[in-house]
């Protein structure tokens, strides 16, 4: 008897381009949600938000921005649906450290549901 394992999902880790690193840095430098929303809407290709990078501990920007319901609504809305891909799963668990210093795992969907 042979055991067969089927992949549930694949995660592709991308090497960021310099332009993508600059955009990511801009998000971390933003002070308000309005600035973040402006950056989201200015991107010609929102595929950047769904890519996973080692520089983000294997996370993607959708997961990182999921604590804000407006960002989540835009990034997971119909406007960007053509950029959704099995190659970039938003259900992927990311690692983070909470306020008490405890390391936990969560996904963009978990964060959005918790904060909605």
Give the per-residue pLDDT at 35. 92
2, part of any domain: no
5, part of any domain: no
66, part of any domain: yes
Distance CA 3, CA 20 (A): 41
Q: In sequence order, what are the beta bridge partners of 95?
A: 105
8, part of any domain: no
28, part of any domain: yes
77, part of any domain: yes
- Residue-wise pLDDT tens digits, 39-73: 888 888 888 888 878 777 777 788 778 777 788 78
31, part of any domain: yes
Q: Give the count of domains, the chain.
A: 1
% of the chain surpassing 70 pLDDT: 79
Is residue 8 over pLDDT 70?
no
Among residues 78, 75, 88, 76, which one has the least CA distance to residue 41?
A: 75
Expressed as residue numbers, the domain containing 102 is: 15-115
């Amino acid at each position: 008897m042979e055991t067969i394992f089927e992949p549930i999902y694949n995660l592709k880790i991308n090497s960021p381009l310099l332009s993508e690193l600059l955009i990511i840095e801009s998000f971390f430098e933003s002070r308000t949600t309005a600035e973040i929303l402006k950056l989201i809407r200015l991107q010609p290709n929102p595929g950047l938000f769904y890519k996973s990078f080692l520089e983000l501990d294997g996370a993607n920007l959708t997961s990182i921005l999921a604590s804000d319901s407006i960002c989540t609504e835009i990034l997971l809305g119909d406007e960007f649906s053509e950029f959704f891909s099995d190659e970039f799963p938003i259900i992927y668990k990311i690692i983070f450290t909470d306020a008490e210093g405890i390391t936990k795992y969560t996904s963009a969907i978990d964060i959005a549901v918790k904060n909605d």
